[in-house]
Amino acid sequence: YAVNQESARDVYSKRRIVAVTELQIMEWHDYKHLDWISVRRDDD
């Protein structure tokens, strides 16, 4: 039972790490997109 509980905690922590990483990637993409828009606006 203890081993099963530990593995469940590992799965939860790994999923949490993946979720945080995906969120950071999404924020980075949004930042780059906004940066590209501002550059295009400066060209006009």
Q: What is the pLDDT of residue 22?
A: 92
Residue 10 CB coordination number (10 Å): 10
Residue 15 confidence (pLDDT): 92
Structure tokens at 36: 């590209």
pLDDT in tens, 1-37: 667 777 888 988 999 999 999 999 888 888 787 777 6
| Secondary structure (DSSP) of the chain | -HHHHHHHHHHHHHHHHHHHHHHHHHHHHHHHHHHHHHHHHHH-
Domain ranges of the chain: 1-44
Residues 30/36/37/43 CA torsion (nearest 10 deg): 170
Closest CA to 25 of 36, 15, 33: 33
